[in-house]
Each structure stands twice: as structure tokens, then as C-alpha cells.
């Protein structure tokens, strides 16, 4: 008999109608709750996804800016070194003896009574 279900006759009473209406309301409430939860989950996932994408873009942008900053720091260091060398050269060019030494070596100026012989840089081919 366990395999055979008993058929129960449904009474058509006022209580049963109210009970059916109550069950229908509960079913609609549950359906609305599920819809709201699904909508809330979708909105939450969209917000979290958007924030994640924004965060990743900001990290990438920050890495690019950090790399650019390091390159500019290297550039600044080389320019400061160049500035230091140029200031040293300026101070040397203010020294008359240094200017005369440059003129003697590069432009073959001589002191009185001094002879300058130009020696070729390359050895002769013979």
C-alpha cells in the first residue's frame, strides 16, 4: 500500500479558500524576495566588478607614473652632473693660464721665442 497513494477529497470550505489564498500570498512573497535578492546580487556584482576594473586601471597608471618618475630622476641626476661639469669648466675658463694652455694646445699659439712643430698623427705608409 505504500506504493499506492490514497486520494483525499478536498473540502470546498471557507477555511480552505482562506488557506489557499494564504499559501498563494506566501508563494508570491517568496517569489518577490528571490527576485529582489537576485537583483541585489547583480547590482552588487556590477559595482564590485566596476570597482575592481577601476582599481586595476589605477594600479597600472600608478606603475606607469612611477616608471616615468624614475626616468625623470635619472635624467635629473645626469643633468645635475652635466651642470656641475659645466660650472667647473666655467671656473677654469676664468683662469687666464688655463685659457692660454687651451689656446696653445688646440690653436697652436706660442709664447715669444717658442717654435711649434706639428707632428702628424698617423705613421707614414713607407
pLDDT tens, 52-75? 999 999 999 999 999 999 999 999
pLDDT for residue 58: 98
> What distance in Å separates the CA atoms of residue 104 and residue 110, rounded to the nearest whole number?
6
Compute the residue count for the chain. 126
Q: Give backbone dihedrals phi and psi of 4, rounded to 5 degrees, phi first.
A: -95, 115
Instruction: Say how far apart CA 116 and CA 58 lie, in whole Å.
Output: 68
DSSP percent split of the chain into helix, strand, coil, nearest 5? 75, 0, 25
- What is the C-alpha to C-alpha distance for residues 34 and 73, in angstroms, rounded to an integer? 57
Residue ranges of the chain whose pLDDT lies below 70: 1-4, 124-126
Tell me the pTM: 0.54
Amino acid at each position: 500500500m505504500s506504493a499506492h497513494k490514497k486520494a483525499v477529497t478536498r473540502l470546498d470550505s471557507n477555511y480552505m479558500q482562506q488557506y489557499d489564498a494564504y499559501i498563494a500570498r506566501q508563494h508570491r512573497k517568496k517569489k518577490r524576495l528571490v527576485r529582489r535578492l537576485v537583483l541585489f546580487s547583480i547590482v552588487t556584482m556590477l559595482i564590485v566588478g566596476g570597482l575592481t576594473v577601476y582599481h586595476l586601471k589605477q594600479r597600472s597608471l600608478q606603475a606607469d607614473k612611477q616608471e616615468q618618475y624614475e626616468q625623470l630622476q635619472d635624467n635629473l641626476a645626469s643633468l645635475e652632473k652635466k651642470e656641475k661639469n659645466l660650472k667647473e669648466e666655467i671656473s677654469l675658463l676664468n683662469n687666464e693660464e688655463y685659457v692660454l694652455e687651451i689656446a696653445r694646445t688646440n690653436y697652436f699659439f706660442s709664447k715669444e721665442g717658442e717654435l711649434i712643430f706639428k707632428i702628424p698623427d698617423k705613421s707614414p705608409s713607407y
